Amino acid sequence: MRVGEVAAVKIGDVVQNDKTVIAQINLSADQTKGSKGRTVLLNERMRSVLQAYVSTLKNLNPNNPLFPTQRSIGFSANSLTQIVNGLYNKAGLHGCSSHSGRRGYLTNLAEKGVSVRVMMALAGHKNMATTQRYIDLRPGVLRKAVELV
């Protein structure tokens, strides 16, 4: 998800009435880039992590932001970007940005043989060329490709 989408997610987008995390987040047009709604699929690991996080929340009002600030209002895309970038820097990962997670996600999928068309849908891109620009070549990828023949 884009950092702006994460900032826009509300508890009701992720949590069902029985307090369990759903398998997919349906983002509305006002929550996404390009003003077009999209669906974000959550794998079991992410659902488990989100379930543990949700269990720490005191107020599960569906209209509240999933990630509240200390004042109980949601982060703006800009403030969340600053936090993510700061975490990368503290971890010693210089040159990373809030968008690095999207790049890494798509690169990992590409290395596992997922088609660009599927990655395009998962990333919410309209153009395949946009998705292809996200995919980085990492050391060893070319060697593995040659060994396939």
Decide: helix, strand or coil at residue 68.
strand
Which residues is 40 bridged to in the sheet? Answer: 25
Residue 9 pLDDT level (bands cut at 50, 70, 90): very high
- Integer Cα distance of 81 and 38 in angstroms: 21
Place of tokens 């949601």: 74
Strands (E), 70-130: none
Examine the pLDDT at 72 and tell me if it is beyond 80.
no
What is the per-residue pLDDT for 40? 96
pLDDT tens for 81-98 read 999 999 999 999 999 999
pLDDT for residue 130: 94
Please report, to the nearest 10 degrees, the dihedral formed by the alpha carbons of residues 106, 67, 96, 45 taken in order. Answer: -40
Asked if residues 81 and 98 have their Cβ atoms less than 8 Å apart, the reply is: yes
Sequence letter at residue 54: V
Per-residue pLDDT reduced to its tens digit, 109-146: 999 989 999 999 999 999 999 999 999 888 888 888 88
Residues 6+ apart with CB under 8 A from 46: none
Nearest CA to 41 among 54, 22, 68, 60? 22
Average pLDDT, rounded, for the chain = 93
Angle, CA 60 vertex, CA 54 and CA 64 arms, to 5°: 105
Q: How much is the pTM?
A: 0.86
Q: Name the residue with higher pLDDT: 34 or 119.
A: 119
- Band of the pLDDT at 30, cuts 50, 70, 90? very high
